Amino acid sequence: MTATTPTQNDTPTSAPDPFEAIILYAINQEETEHDFYQHLASLTTSADLAQMLRHHAQQEKEHVAKLQQVLSRHRVPGASRTLANPDLHIADYVVPNQDDATTLSYQDALILAIKMEQANENLYRDLAGMST
C-alpha cells in the first residue's frame, strides 16, 4: 500500500462567509456606479452635468475605499457578522440605468443619481437591520 499526499481538491471547503459576500457585493455596486457616472460624464455635452457626474463618480470611489477597509478588518464597527435572514432580495435594490447621457437632462441625471444612492442606502439599512 502506498501513501498518498492530500491534494488541494481533497481539502473540505467551508461555506462562503455571508458578511464577506455582502461587502464584496457592495464594493461591486459602488464600482459599477463609479463606472456608470464616468461613462455618462464622457457622453454628455453639458459641462455642468459632466462635472456633477464626475463628482458622483469620485464619491463612489470613496465608498469603495471605505468598504475595502471594512473588508480588510473583517468587521463593521458595532455590527454583527451574522444575518438573521440571509435572503437579501437583491433585485429589490436595483435601479435601471440610462446609458444615453446625450439626452439626459441635468434634472434627470440628478434624479437617477438620487435613485441609485437611495437604493444603496436602503440595502445597507436593511442589511444592518438583518444582522444579529
Q: Exposed, middle or buried, 1 (CB in 10 Å: 0-12/13-18/19+)?
A: exposed
Of 124 and 59, more confident = 59
Distance CA 30, CA 64 (A): 6
* Phi then psi dihedrals of residue 83, to 5 deg: -100, 135
Rounded mean pLDDT of the chain? 73
In the chain the first and final C-alpha atoms are separated, in Å, by: 51
CA distance 21 to 74: 11
Q: Residue 4: what pLDDT? A: 44
User: Quick check: pTM over 0.75?
Assistant: no
Residue linked to cell 459576500: 21
> Which residues are 131's β-sheet partners?
83
* pLDDT digit string, tens, across residues 25-65: 889 888 988 998 898 888 888 898 899 889 999 999 999 99
Angle at CA of residue 51, ends 108 and 98, nearest 5°: 35
The whole-number average pLDDT for the span 121-126 is 79
4 or 102: whose pLDDT is higher? 102
Extract the C-alpha cell encoding 25. Answer: 457585493
If you count them, how many residues does the chain have? Answer: 132
- Judge contact between 97 and 70, C-beta under 8 A: no
